[in-house]
């Protein structure tokens, strides 16, 4: 049976190693992650979003603040993330509190997006009922006319969230379902308590 994962003190180091290896095997959206949110009364919802930043502060993604996930995160500022890389037999589970990114961060990422994506952020009432596809196309054409060049301001309803991790689990597939699970839990002093879990 393969050896279990070596322990590293900083989970971000292990995360970056696994993410780098995932990109080498999954060049299309290795940064895709499941985002789980819940309403204040506990009704859950999950969807795939793309990780756009990861550092010691947390894990960042961007969205319409008026979308279902945006409204749920505003009302219940806790969330979970799940990365699953089947070719490597790996998962990473992240749980923590949620905070908004700064306006400067949101502006910088928004400016890096393709023009049509920036226009789409204006045209889409994300998560709301769309009577027919032509309505979206009409709205997109309206904003294309309004902003004919590359100077497209970030909509006030579009920004990013950072998941500040309190618990991170690294799951490695092992033969006979005797998987290796290493869990990092944030301590009151700001460090990480590290342990293993039964598979």
Identify the pLDDT of residue 1: 40
Given this model, what pLDDT does residue 27 score? 80
CA distance 76 to 10: 28
**Which residue numbers in the chain have pLDDT < 50?**
1-2
User: Which of 85, 29, 20 minimizes the C-alpha distance to 52?
Assistant: 29
pLDDT of residue 6: 75
Nearest to 94 by CA among 75, 79, 84: 79
The full set of domain ranges for the chain reads 11-114+155-197
The answer to whether the Cα torsion of 140, 150, 100, 194 is positive or negative is: positive
- Residue 101 is given by DSSP the state P
Find the helix or strand (DSSP H, E) in which 33 lies. Answer: strand 32-38
Gap between the Cα atoms of 101 and 159, Å rounded: 7
pLDDT score for 137: 97
Answer whether 186's CB lies under 8 Å from 166's CB. Answer: yes
Sign of CA dihedral 185, 79, 45, 135: negative
Q: What CATH superfamily is the domain 11-114+155-197?
A: Electron Transport, Fmn-binding Protein; Chain A (2.30.110.10)
Tell me what pLDDT residue 176 has.
Answer: 95
Contact partners, residue 71, CB within 8 Å, separation at least 6: 65
What confidence score (pLDDT) does residue 3 get?
57
Instruction: Render pLDDT for 51-81 as a digit per residue (tens, 0 to 9).
Output: 999 999 999 999 999 999 999 999 999 999 9
pLDDT attached to residue 192: 97
Which is catalytic among the residues 47, 93, 177, 181?
177
Residue 130, classed as helix, strand or coil, is coil
pTM here is: 0.93
| Catalytic residue flag (residue 93) | no
Residue pointed to by tokens 């793309």: 50
Collapsed DSSP state (helix, strand, coil) of residue 48: strand
């Amino acid at each position: 049976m393969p050896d279990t994962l070596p322990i590293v003190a900083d989970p971000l180091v292990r995360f970056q190693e696994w993410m780098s290896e995932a990109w080498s095997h999954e060049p299309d959206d290795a940064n895709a992650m499941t985002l789980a949110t819940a309403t204040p009364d506990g009704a859950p919802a999950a969807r795939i979003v793309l990780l756009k930043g990861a550092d010691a502060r947390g894990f960042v993604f961007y969205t319409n603040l008026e979308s279902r996930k945006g409204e749920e995160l505003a009302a219940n500022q806790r969330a979970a993330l799940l990365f699953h890389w089947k070719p490597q037999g790996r998962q990473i589970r992240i749980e923590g509190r949620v905070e908004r990114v700064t306006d400067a961060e949101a502006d910088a990422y928004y400016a890096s997006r393709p023009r049509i994506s920036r226009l789409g952020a204006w045209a889409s009432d994300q998560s709301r009922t769309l009577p027919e596809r032509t309505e979206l196309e009409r709205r997109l054409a309206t904003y294309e006319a309004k902003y004919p060049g590359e100077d497209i301001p970030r909509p006030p309803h579009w920004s990013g969230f950072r998941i500040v991790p309190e618990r991170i689990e690294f799951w490695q597939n092992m033969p006979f379902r005797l998987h290796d699970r290493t869990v990092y839990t944030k301590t009151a002093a700001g460090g990480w308590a590290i342990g293993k879990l039964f598979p």
